[in-house]
Amino acid sequence: MSSRWSDITRDDLELELAALGARLDWSPTPDLAESILATQAAPTPLPRARHRRHWLAAAALVLLIVGALLAGSATVRTSVADFLGIDGVRIEFGEPPAAPVETPNLGTPTSMQDFVRWLPFAPMQPAALDQPDALYLHVLENGDVLGLMAWPPDDALPQAAETGLGALLMQFEPPDDIYMMIKTVGTSTGSITETTVNGEPAWWIEVASNLTIFGEESIDSRSTANVLLWQQGDIGFRLESALSMDEALAIAESLEPVS
Amino acid sequence: MDDDLIQRARTGDQHALEQLVRRYQDVAFRVALVITGDRDEAQDATQTAFIKAVQALGSFRTDAPFRPWLLRIVANEAKNRVRSRARHATGPLDERIVSLGPSPAELAERNERHRELLAAVRTLSLPDQQIITYRYFLDLSESEIASLLGCPRGTVKSRLSRATVRLREALVSGQGGIIDV
């Protein structure tokens, strides 16, 4: 198979795909007209439309940090106000969302097989931890899919009060034109520290914060524990836990492809 | 052409409504199939989407294209059905959904290329299969795909670009574009 395609250009590949598309036989379309017309005789009421709040037209995933940086931390505030170096990540300052919900909505529970199939990249997991206890797929408002791995609390993973979990690892493919945003408001204490994971820029967020995800069904807002945020290759990662920065870094640096 | 049918369908013209359904039921059903991977769910989603679209015709802007608006409704209905079940039934390009049409013997080389290409697309992740199918197999424009997915057109371009890169890698390696599970 490989030799036939080794020199193909992208333009030629697109032409081949279009030619293939023209030859495909699809499963036959059922005749829907009759059944649809029949319903017009006895129309059913439309379900109530979902209320969509568009926080930002382009934002699908928003991290909101409620609680300003330490008073007097002008240096840190300036450094994190820049574009962070993870594709699509930006820090801004703004108002928090509505009151957070108690129980985090992690998405749809899934198997490892579907976890691998639904994510548009090769997912990773930390070798420093056991197999995750649960896997979730969270569909964003624009149809992109986040993958989440959850570990229960144990001797090595203290329970994070915000999630009830020992660790929660989110992985995603940051698109070019929507972005993750960190907003800080208020005057509570905490810090955002720039660090590295395997030599790549990373941010340790240890401040009272809210996470808001604009999913297809709802806008979920909840309090978060400590967060390590970084990018490895083309994939973004977010590790949430009650661990220290060094402990979180050790986990982050142990990522390997899912086996 | 759509404007006239829509205007007439709004007034309760059943013939116009029937024409509108027949004009778009193929592409609508195939979009639903790509998302659900299941004929029954795709049929249910498509039918519900058409019913909702008909009921919402009064608020549809006739200066806007009808097909992307309809397909967005179809996609949402199909996604609702996928989310309501624990596991994805099958891939969007499963052999029960699409197959290669017949080819004359003198085009054996082309047939072999297409067979390999389809097999490689089937090894990609489900989102990659879906976006390649929308663009190249259902011939939807990037704007229509953006409307269907509810994302900016730039996002569609970048996702398509990545998907084709991964497809090429799958073709060259002959081992599939993503982890085999």
Half-sphere exposure of B107 (CA within 13 A, CB side): 10
- Nearest CB partner across the interface for B127, out of A1, A43, A145: A145
- Tell me which of A45 and A226 has the higher pLDDT: A226
CB atoms within 10 A of CB B115: 14
pLDDT at A166 over 90: yes
Q: Closest approach of chain A CAs to the CA of B1, in angstroms?
A: 19
- Nearest CB partner across the interface for B55, out of A33, A43, A122: A43
Mutating which of B36, B85, B126, B128 best tests the A interface, going by the most A Cβ atoms within 10 A?
B126
Judge if ipTM > 0.85.
yes
Question: Per-residue pLDDT tens for A90-133?
Answer: 444 444 445 444 556 777 788 888 888 878 888 999 999 999 99
- The gap from C-alpha B22 to its chain's centroid, in whole angstroms, comes to 17
A67 dihedral zone (left: phi>0; alpha: psi -120 to 50; beta): left
| Minimum Cα–Cα distance from B38: chain A residue | A27
The one-letter code for the residue type at A77 is: R
How many distinct helices (H) and strands (E) make up chain A?
A: 6, 16
| Minimum Cα–Cα distance from A234: chain B residue | B162
Q: A9 at the B interface (CB within 8 A)?
A: no
- Nearest CB partner across the interface for B114, out of A1, A23, A113: A23
Q: Do A257 and B163 touch (CB under 8 A)?
A: no
Q: Any idea what DSSP says for residue A177? A: S
Contact assessment for residue A207 and residue A69, using Cβ atoms and an 8 Å cutoff = yes
Chain mean pLDDT for chain A: 70
Question: Per-residue pLDDT tens for B132-146?
Answer: 999 999 999 999 998
Burial of A169 (0-12, 13-18, 19+ CB in 10 A): buried
Q: B73 at the A interface (CB within 8 A)?
A: no
Contacts of B181 in chain A (CB under 8 A): 112-113, 116-117
Question: Per-residue pLDDT tens for A31-80?
Answer: 998 888 887 654 433 222 233 332 222 233 444 443 333 333 333 333 33
Contacts of B108 (CB under 8 A, 6+ apart): none
B76 dihedral zone (left: phi>0; alpha: psi -120 to 50; beta): alpha
Q: A2 at the B interface (CB within 8 A)?
A: yes
Angle between helices B142-149 and B153-173 (to 10 degrees): 100
